[in-house]
Amino acid sequence: MASTLTYDRSGLTSLAVGERGVSDASRASLSASLAAARSAVLDAHTRGDLGFLDLADLDPTPFTSWASTLDPDLTDQVVIGIGGSTLGAFAILETAGPSGAGGLRTHFAENMDPVTFSALVSSLDPATTLLVVITKSGTTVETMSKFWILYARFRDAIGDDVDAHVIAITDPERGSLRPLAMSRGWKTFSVPPNVGGRFSVLTPVGLVPLAAAGFDIAGLLDGARDARDAARDLPVDSNPALQAAADAHILYGQGVSIYVMMAYSDLLSGLVDWFRQLWAESLGKSTDRKGRAVHLGQTPVKALGVVDQHSQAQLYMEGPFDKVVALLEVASFPTDLTVPELDGFPESLSHLVGRGMSEILAAELRGTQLALADAQRPSCLWSFPDLSARSVGAFVMTWEFVTAVVGELWDIDAFDQPGVELGKRIAHGLLGREDLVDFAAGFSLASGEGSSLAIPRSE
């Protein structure tokens, strides 16, 4: 049977790694709770709370039609946002690339770094660049300040034409960006209120920049639908999303506090960043739904194969037994190179001659998987048949579902992020927001003698 994505959990079973793995008994005893967790997720969706599950049914046509009406003189777009507002589109575009002819070259302005942002600003031609500003809350300091720097530069260069170059994606009502967009006549798209930032890549947050880049958003949504239907309908025991949730939950209960995701392709690197945010912000919580202190969360760690075999693997193989390693494999790459037969190559390495890079990569991955098992370290394998939009869509939706189910198993709210609010409020106050100045002034770092240490510079 053809599949969009495969989850192979054999490397984390107790058969493979002994008592540090997931036993059949623990799996069986979780079965009823897993089914209940899935029902709770689906019920929340029926109540209208979890809009992310509807997104797989979106019609891509309004987005592709809009993209086809873009001014043909446009060559580039800058996507300005942070966290859930940019990580998804960046990851997807990096993985599967634009498929349509004539899409815009895409730049992401995510971080708040004066050096890299200045370099980006000076590389752009305002006459041919679209500014896509994305903030669901409409108040994010980093996004709005970077956007305003760009807007002013563009206005200086092209005058009032700038307003035809701005696309604003934000909440339909809340926040400061919506009224600003209305007052300037910018084209706007709405983020559905029942979809949180890190679950929003299949809303206009991701689909608008992806459509402008010429990306195959129909394929992306097909993959998301494959995954949503599988997660919703497949029996518990053969359901990749439910079993991945169960494995993470059981291993966490056995002291596995770190989930390493190791992508065996440069092109999957952004997808691991996207996963990292989803896993960390959704599941890192201090209290459960009853208000009890729980301090739960499994730290997501990003790794890249094969590079991190020569950097992190030693720790994974011999360090604390606190990790599960999820290997991301691509079965078929769009291109390959072969080690040539040419006089002079060392005899001891002659077995490499005639091997494709993808074949070598597959052997490296398999070697890591088997070595982890040999060291009694749980691992699992996510196989992408290819780097298509459809495979990526399936990965995204699967992990959103896994996250929601683990949230249920832990009885926490996986859709809020109270822990990041305090720092944001203090920053606003430090930057002079009137209602928060006194609030921010109430915080300080208690420090004593010897807290700050300097290296003297020799004359």
Please count the other Cβ atoms lying within 10 Å of the Cβ belonging to residue 418.
Answer: 10
Residue nearest to ligand PA5 according to CB distances in the complex: 197
Write out the two tokens for 415.
């859709």
Answer yes or no whether residue 103 interacts with ligand PA5 by CB under 6 A.
Answer: no
Answer yes or no whether residue 51 interacts with ligand PA5 by CB under 6 A.
Answer: no
> Does residue 290 carry a catalytic annotation?
no
Answer yes or no whether residue 136 interacts with ligand PA5 by CB under 6 A.
Answer: yes
Residue 79 CB, nearest distance to ligand PA5 (Å)? 12
Answer yes or no whether residue 323 interacts with ligand PA5 by CB under 6 A.
Answer: no
Span 279-298, contacts to ligand PA5 by CB under 6 A? 281
Size of the site for ligand PA5 (CB under 6 A): 14
Nearer Cβ to ligand PA5 (191/261): 191
Residue 75 CB, nearest distance to ligand PA5 (Å)? 26
Answer yes or no whether residue 198 interacts with ligand PA5 by CB under 6 A.
Answer: yes
Nearer Cβ to ligand PA5 (33/137): 137
| Angle, CA of 258, 388 and 13, to the nearest 5° | 35
The interface mask with ligand PA5, positions 78-97, x = CB under 6 A, is: ----xxxx------------
- The total number of residues shown for the chain amounts to 459
Answer yes or no whether residue 194 interacts with ligand PA5 by CB under 6 A.
Answer: no
Residue 383 CB, nearest distance to ligand PA5 (Å)? 28
Span 373-432, contacts to ligand PA5 by CB under 6 A? 417
> Does residue 281 carry a catalytic annotation?
yes
Nearer Cβ to ligand PA5 (206/223): 206
Q: Considering 19, 290, 295, 310, which one is annotated as catalytic?
A: 310
Nearer Cβ to ligand PA5 (108/384): 108
120-128, 190-198, 263-271, 393-401 -> range binding ligand PA5 (CB under 6 A):
190-198
Answer yes or no whether residue 209 interacts with ligand PA5 by CB under 6 A.
Answer: no
Q: Considering 110, 281, 400, 408, which one is annotated as catalytic?
A: 281
Nearer Cβ to ligand PA5 (209/240): 209
Cα separation, 198 vs 249, in Å, equals: 21
134-142, 147-155, 233-241, 294-302 -> range binding ligand PA5 (CB under 6 A):
134-142
Answer yes or no whether residue 143 interacts with ligand PA5 by CB under 6 A.
Answer: yes
Nearer Cβ to ligand PA5 (143/312): 143
Cα separation, 434 vs 428, in Å, equals: 9
> Does residue 310 carry a catalytic annotation?
yes
Answer yes or no whether residue 140 interacts with ligand PA5 by CB under 6 A.
Answer: yes
Among 77, 135, 203, 358, binds ligand PA5 (CB under 6 A): 135
Three-class secondary structure assignment of the chain: CCCCCEEECHHHEHHHHHHHCECHHHHHHHHHHHHHHHHHHHHHHHCCCCHHHHHHHCCCHHHHHHHHCCCCCCCEEEEECCHHHCHHHHHHHHHHCCCCCCCCEEEEECCCCHHHHHHHHHHCCHHHEEEEEECCCCCCHHHHHHHHHHHHHHHHHHHHHHHHHEEEEECCCCCCHHHHHHHHCCEEEECCCCCCHHHCCCCHHHHHHHHHCCCCHHHHHHHHHHHHHHHHHCCHHHCHHHHHHHHHHHHHHCCCCEEEEEECCHHHHHHHHHHHHHHHHHHCEEECCCCCEEEECCEEEEEECCHHHHCCHHHHHHCCCCEEEEEEEECCCCCCCECCCCCCCCHHHHHHCCCEHHHHHHHHHHHHHHHHHHCCCCEEEEEECCCCHHHHHHHHHHHHHHHHHHHHHHCCCCCCCHHHHHHHHHHHHHCCCHHHHHHHHCCCCCCCCCCCCCCCCCC
Residue 424 CB, nearest distance to ligand PA5 (Å)? 8
Nearer Cβ to ligand PA5 (81/219): 81
**Catalytic residues, which ones?**
281, 310, 424
Residue ranges that bind ligand PA5, judged by CB under 6 A: 82-85, 135-137, 140, 143, 196-198, 281, 417
